[in-house]
Amino acid sequence: RSFGGCAHSYADYDDVQVDLKDKDWDIQPLETDTDWLTHNYEPLEPFTVSRFFIHDEGFEGDAPDGLFSLQIKADSAFGSGAHPTTKGCLQAMAELKAQGVCPWNVLDMGTGSGILALAGWKLWKTPILAVDNDPRAVDLALAHQEINKIPGGASNVIIEHS
């Protein structure tokens, strides 16, 4: 089976050694006074996390060369990419890709905005299931899927309510 340039067989993973502990991570203390709900409604200034260029609908232009563009609109669902936990996940995913990891499929449980599911598809072009128990989050994730021109269906990205 092959997706996104990754030919899969179980033998592919026999010798894979993943090392994330010695990387140059951007570790920051969490700001406990930040009202993240209010923050998510503010215009999103374009920024980069690893291989991802994240922006809102107000950005005009192209992503810098070599970076994957992710358009995320300001809304109430968690996952603009600005929160340190989301940044950390995006950094870890890009590092796994750089180390040759090609997953058979990806689960984004509690998808929120869908940013991690969409980033995973851009990295690996492998089937992704994104699930959330908040119907508004599912609607937003589906909107982001469409905005970012990520195909749906069993071999691509499926976003659904749990």
How do residues 28-63 score in pLDDT, each as one tens digit?
666 667 665 666 666 788 999 999 999 998 899 999
Quote the pLDDT of residue 24: 64
Phi, psi of 68 (to 5 degrees): -85, 130
Q: Closest Cα partner for 114 from 139, 92, 151?
A: 139
Mean pLDDT across the stretch 102-112?
Answer: 93
pTM for this prediction: 0.79
Greater pLDDT, 32 or 160: 160
Greater pLDDT, 1 or 84: 84
Greater pLDDT, 41 or 1: 41
Quote the pLDDT of residue 72: 92
Separation between Cα atoms, residue 44 and residue 58, nearest integer Å: 8
Torsion angle (degrees, nearest 10) of CA 21, 13, 152, 135: -50
The answer to whether the beta carbons of residues 4 and 125 sit under 8 Å apart is yes
pLDDT in tens, 123-159: 999 999 999 999 988 999 999 999 999 999 878 888 8
List, as one string, the DSSP characters of the chain.
Answer: -EETTEE--GGGGTT-----TTS--------TT--HHHHHHS----EEETTEEEE-TT--S-PPTT-EEEE----SSS-SS-SHHHHHHHHHHHHHHHTT---S-EEEET-TTSHHHHHHHHHH---EEEEES-HHHHHHHHHHHHHTT--BSTTSEEEEE-
Quote the pLDDT of residue 150: 95
Pair type for strands 128-132 and 157-161: parallel
